[in-house]
Structure 1
């Protein structure tokens, strides 16, 4: 399989100054498959913890946040799949407001959908395909209603990751359904800042770095070697941008990948699933970082859904970046490539294997 979780990169542009993407000078989009691995692994961890603990700890239900996507979007949506297959929109949000400002220098407020995956699980649920939508893709945001009831008019040439910050989950779902023609059966959002309490519940996480980290912006310093980081230091570790590499997102993504693997290793090493007391603490932290649609908005429903996916091997899950090309008006942005994107969405809708031609992205030369 040519597109697996071990491949590198994903689409998107990267600012060295760490500011919000406002159309200023930026690096060209690059492939960022590492984020897919981070998000998918976290999703597997959350589902595994929920699936093991739900019948012991019903109190965890209160941790889960959920949104009623069906109520917000009404009936003007694509038809459901003609099979028992499922489509799930998974967002990785990076909240930088309030207590989460310690993630970096705190100059960027609000939250953005830094990672977006359309996970397609065909009938039989023995395999899955995850389609990554680059955050810098220019899209048409359809008219939608925000979580606070405000009406947003249709807007063209909007950067995909701005839809979440302006309109919230329902507007993101409607945008994805509009651009793909495919109905999203479920919605899941993972707040990466939720790792802080998860790390503290584990008693810290051991990470190893090959070079010194010195971030003059946040003041975070870490000597090369092996360290056990608590939750606060872990946040600084995964958010440092200026202390590694050339100051772009690429170095930080590498640290985030290293950190998540360290978390999963720690869970396995401590035999968390074999210790009810520790399992509760970890599950408590994990569920606090999760928002779902109301259809899987309880721990019981989430656990049942997680168990239905147990036949899928995350290591062999096919991951594909939405085929994109550089925008002719703004080379720092990308747009969906045609006809490749239509071929991709059609394959998911019909449950057929994605053709190789639909996996080629002109913007990356792949």
Structure 2
């Protein structure tokens, strides 16, 4: 994407006024794929939305590119759809006490949020055309990229230099982050959504907790994350501590943190796709109500009929076809604490996503296989044909694969 193209993206329209739908449309669903967890966490939420939920969903909608235009009826079938998911590194007055030094003595705006934010988690969720597959592509926050020129909230232009991917949000919000990821991957970013730490706390509580496995203890005073070896059912603040930890993992890197988050995301999808969750309408409604108030979506994600179609498209995707993959990188020679894209291997991965081919990611840092693990209930046996081979540094796992977090203990 050229800088001139990036300038056409509109950062604002925070309070987008959308046509009020017919009541029948409001009674359809925000069934879901999860725009939320999604965020610091993952994919696949099923929920039910009615009038008050629709109003909450549209209140803070942000326009990116052309996504204010209602989605085409065949979009999902023709080429699939890609949704950018951001977890924001931003202090909120209501949660400052639990964030320790990170949120001490910060300046807050009228909305109770820190005035400047970066994206702490950057993921691109891609839903393929038939046969349906869901790929969640995670990008290291320390990834150095060519940032596009974007319009800032004040109406000026910024960007157009080599910098960290997570700074795109500080420059121009969801729209600038979408432009940066689109330029990096070559995949069109159709929609986007963001969530704060407080939103993650609310959403993980509404889900009813997710059970994760820890192979070796996690001790991270900075994130407040302390988990002994074994299984833990976590929600609320405990889930946020698990998702934020970096120094509590073996190696202590942001790349290990992505592997740790994939452990959570896989467990999350298994729970969300289980009969226990899908048959509990009370839980689904509570989750929907929490989600629409926790997420800042782009305008294209405010059509309840479209969201229902997305939800139905992924409802029957087998767990083995939910893939969580880390974008391939290598250390930046100028700074070992930063990484740059492995362009050759990234091209192979992106082409596999475009072609909708089956592939198996390589196990990476941050997690280890569970020895003697039985196949997950509901998992689909692998087909007889071998998956497409991926390069050695395309790391991740599938939702039917049970892995344990590798702590620093």
**TM-score, structure 2 as length reference:** 0.59
Write the deviation string for residues 198-217 of structure 1: whole angstroms up to 9, x where unpaired: 35556778889899887656
Change (3 A) 1:350 1:331: same
Structure 1 vs Structure 2 CA RMSD:
4.6
Would you say 1:116 and 2:122 are equivalent positions? Answer: yes
List runs of 5+ in structure 2 lacking aligned partners: 1-36, 70-74, 104-113, 360-386, 397-409
Would you say 1:86 and 2:80 are equivalent positions? Answer: yes
Cα distance in structure 1, aligned partners of 2:258 and 2:341: 26
* Conserved 8 A contact 1:91-1:113: no
2:43 equivalent in structure 1: 43
Match of 1:101 among 96, 99, 105: 96
Change (3 A) 1:169 1:340: same
Would you say 1:155 and 2:161 are equivalent positions? Answer: yes
* Conserved 8 A contact 1:103-1:193: no
Deviation at 1:142, TM superposition (A): 1.4
* Aligned pairs (5 A) from 1:15-54: 42-45=42-45, 48-49=46-47, 53-54=48-49
1:127 equivalent in structure 2: 133
Change (3 A) 1:357 1:243: closer
Write the deviation string for residues 29-86 of structure 1: whole angstroms up to 9, x where unpaired: xxxxxxxx975974302xx12xxx13xx221113324211125999xxxxxx997112
Change (3 A) 1:261 1:148: farther
Would you say 1:165 and 2:170 are equivalent positions? Answer: yes
1:138 equivalent in structure 2: 144
* Aligned pairs (5 A) from 1:269-348: 271=276, 273-348=278-353
Change (3 A) 1:61 1:103: farther
Would you say 1:58 and 2:60 are equivalent positions? Answer: no
Change (3 A) 1:139 1:238: closer
1:67 equivalent in structure 2: 62
Quick one: higher RCO (CA 8 Å, sep 6+), 1 or 2? 1
Change (3 A) 1:315 1:331: same
Change (3 A) 1:329 1:235: closer
List runs of 5+ in structure 1 lacking aligned partners: 1-36, 75-80
Deviation at 1:150, TM superposition (A): 3.1
Change (3 A) 1:241 1:277: same
**Larger relative helix fraction:** 1
